[in-house]
Structure 1
Amino acid sequence: MEESVTVYQLKQEIHKQDIDYLLTHNRENICFFRFVGGNTSQNDEIFKQLYRLRDSKTIVFGIFRFPFRFEGKQRMDIAIQQYYKLKKVCDSVIYFYSDGMMELLEEGTSIREANILFEEFEKSPIQAIGEMVRQTGDINIDFQDLQSFIKKKDGALFVRTIEGDSFDEPLKYLISTPYLSQEYADGKQLMVNIGYTTDVDMNAFRQINLRINDLFHKMEIFKVGSYLINQPGKSLKVTLLANGISDPFQEPEGTKNIPLYRYWFMNKWKKVTQKDKQSDWFSVMNKTVETIKKDRLL
């Protein structure tokens, strides 16, 4: 990725100045918006602000976490609605299950320690995608590849990075985790980035590619990137992106016809009024210049 491309992270709240900054610096940016669903105080302003980025060069990823089941059905119902609203205004959405995160905690884990671990889970796709598009190598995956990949297919996005010096056990056991979708192999397209240290031989590289193709045989391979990790040893770092995976819950009737045209109209209206203001300013300046010219003639 070129140095001009920047990765931004926003969490739970969006301020107008954040979006204004991304729109003002209208270049190739990636914005991750992390959102924990279920809070009734989250209003329509968040989705309205995110929608403003649709006409910009910024790729917007929503990272959505569903609440714990013990928080109650009402909170989960609100979260499901929020998930579909977020999905409609973002270029792509990556979702997490809080209950799945809970399964990975050891007995006696403190709330503070759990929150630190949950943060790491949510930040893992941000780090993976950032590294993928920044890493130069034999075959690069760049900003345009990522943009084309996520816009080609509808549905959620699955992102997972695995590391190891051998992959003797079935790949699905390494990729599967309770806090991410289990339907990743039924997606539409796959993009893979493979990093290898200096002593990895071609047989190991071939084996990991065969395992990937076996597990994801239903999917179309969009692109496979590769790059050297300039370290000794035999180690592979594989990042997988699967698009078009199924949504975790059925879409509520109330979100199927969200009037996004309201956001579109508001954006267009702002642009028109800004142009009108600029026109008025130029008109005033022209009149001022004409007045100065006349004064000089007199």
Structure 2
Amino acid sequence: MKAKKTTKAKPVAASKEMGELKRPVVNKKEKSKVMSTPKVKPVSTTKSRDEQVVVRIKVVGVGGGGGNAITRMYEDFPKGVELIAINTDLQDLNQAQAKKRIYIGKNLTKGMGTGMNPELGKQAAEENRAEITEAIKDADMIFVTAGFGGGTGTGAAPVVAEIAKDLGILTVGIVTKPFAFEGGQRARIAEEGIIRMRDRVDTLITIPNDRIFSIISKDTSLMKAFEEVDKILRDSVRGVTELILTPGIINIDFADVKAVMRDSGSAMVGLGIASGNGRAGKAASAAINSPLLETSVEGARGILLCVSGRNDLKMHEINEIASAVAESADQSAKIIFGTYYDRKLNKGQLKITLIATGFSDTLTRDGRYDSYFTESADLPVRVSSSLPFEGIANQNMREEREEVKSTPIERVGVVDDYEEEEIIEEKEKEWDIPAFLRRRKK
């Protein structure tokens, strides 16, 4: 009986005191239990998990496009990142692969979407503001991703971003712009949405869908093309999260990320993977000159640069990559560098993740500045973004029309064209409103 008392070894279960105890006489079964307890305990408790994954990162997909991106991320994404889907379309929301789904605007849309009406999307998010706040309040960093040009993504994403920013969370927006073939109205909706979004995030990354044509062939199917768009969103988010969550040889921590991304305006995320001879130069070129991102790295004043590889990663390769990036950025740019081993890479592969921020203006790869980010005396006066989306579009149209009238050389026939366009747009808008709302109007 005395032997059993000694072998029970109760104090050993308290892992903190284990080191101070003399080795007890135990049988093999008891020894197995005692030795395994300290290993299992830290993972099973919330406190220890928080210590292990210090930075809480959440990715919120808003609307149909955001939901698709979330689903794609769910298949292959770093552990420790929570995915949340938000939508007014209940059927679409149920298809999203996410840890949490938030159904917004139940009383407004009855689960049938917003019909390309961003004002309705905005109101839907406001209706469920408390639920959104509850879902994201404990995050340190949030990515808000959406496809702009529709109703829910364009209208609700800025509300989600605003909530996050008000909570003091580092907020990054990653949005896509519609294809040119989707029409002028979607393009205008997207532009006004980007203006709203830009005022409510720390960093905004915009990806024009039309850039997809630079990397796909004529034989690429429709589904495959949209998969590529979702992949760009996923890779942009993944690139940033891996920088934060992966321990490195030269580490980039969350404080570094905040220093570069807090209140930094427009940004770009470049990814480059290469192997074989000259892989460092190839990967650097791919990261700096990604054809899929709208903003060029030229003129960036803040850069996070991370190089990952396997055991064959060489010092001269790191030097070559860092030099290439420094040459492309602003001369006084703050460059934070990190490197880590990535066992997921194939043998001989090298990967570069580049986050560039702090641009003085939004310079596109075509060497021009986006009109909706640039104020100019020659352009119509920008109206306050506190107006409803529909009101902004109509106001801009009236201002453009007045400007045409004031130019004698352009007066003949132009006013009639605008009137005709307004009639057509009114008809289009009628069909953009969901059927149940059209019936309510009548």
After TM superposition, is the score higher than 0.5? yes
- How far apart, in 2, do the equivalents of 1:63 and 1:171 lie? 22
Select the residue among 149, 157, 161 that pairs with 1:50.
161
Write the mapping of 1:146-157 to structure 2, written as runs, cut at 5 A: 146-151=257-262, 153=264, 155-157=265-267
Write the mapping of 1:204-215 to structure 2, written as runs, cut at 5 A: 204-215=317-328
- The residue aligned with 1:167 is 280
- How far apart, in 2, do the equivalents of 1:202 and 1:81 lie? 46
Deviations 1:207-238 (A, max 9, x none): 22222222325351331112233579544221
- How far apart, in 2, do the equivalents of 1:174 and 1:145 lie? 20
- The residue aligned with 1:289 is none
* Aligned pairs, number: 256
- The residue aligned with 1:186 is 299
Write the mapping of 1:226-265 to structure 2, written as runs, cut at 5 A: 226-230=339-343, 234-245=348-359, 246-247=361-362, 249-251=370-372, 257-259=384-386
Select the residue among 133, 137, 144 that pairs with 2:244.
133
- The residue aligned with 1:109 is 220
- How far apart, in 2, do the equivalents of 1:94 and 1:109 lie? 26
Deviations 1:7-56 (A, max 9, x none): 32222334442432212xx352x222212111256675543343122232
If asked which structure has higher relative contact order (CA below 8 Å, sep 6+), I would say 1
Name the amino acid aligned to 1:243.
T
Name the amino acid aligned to 1:81.
E
Could you say if the C-alpha distance between residues 2 and 92 of structure 1 is closer, same or farther in structure 2, counting changes exceeding 3 Å? farther
Could you say if the C-alpha distance between residues 256 and 87 of structure 1 is closer, same or farther in structure 2, counting changes exceeding 3 Å? farther
- The residue aligned with 1:21 is 135
- The residue aligned with 1:269 is none
- How far apart, in 2, do the equivalents of 1:95 and 1:43 lie? 13
Task: Give the conservation status (yes or no) of the 8 Å contact 1:85–1:255.
Answer: no
Deviations 1:168-196 (A, max 9, x none): 45944553233212522222221111113
- The residue aligned with 1:142 is 253
- How far apart, in 1, do the equivalents of 2:341 and 2:283 lie? 25
Name the amino acid aligned to 2:268.
F
- How far apart, in 2, do the equivalents of 1:129 and 1:170 lie? 17
TM-score normalised by length of structure 1: 0.75
Name the amino acid aligned to 1:3.
V
Q: Which moved more, 1:61-70 or 1:33-42?
A: 33-42
Unaligned runs of 5+ in 1: 261-298
Could you say if the C-alpha distance between residues 51 and 68 of structure 1 is closer, same or farther in structure 2, counting changes exceeding 3 Å? same
- The residue aligned with 1:177 is 290
Cα drift, residue 57 of structure 1: 4.5
- The residue aligned with 1:8 is 58
- How far apart, in 1, do the equivalents of 2:186 and 2:224 lie? 24
Could you say if the C-alpha distance between residues 136 and 173 of structure 1 is closer, same or farther in structure 2, counting changes exceeding 3 Å? closer
Name the amino acid aligned to 1:5.
V
Identical counterparts, % of pairs: 18
- How far apart, in 2, do the equivalents of 1:35 and 1:232 lie? 31
Name the amino acid aligned to 1:176.
N
Task: Give the conservation status (yes or no) of the 8 Å contact 2:281–2:320.
Answer: no
- How far apart, in 2, do the equivalents of 1:208 and 1:42 lie? 37
Write the mapping of 1:76-95 to structure 2, written as runs, cut at 5 A: 76-95=187-206
Which structure has the larger Rg over C-alpha atoms? Answer: 2
Deviations 1:63-120 (A, max 9, x none): 1111111222222121111011111111211110111013322212222222212111
- How far apart, in 2, do the equivalents of 1:167 and 1:139 lie? 18
Name the amino acid aligned to 2:250.
I
Could you say if the C-alpha distance between residues 256 and 35 of structure 1 is closer, same or farther in structure 2, counting changes exceeding 3 Å? farther
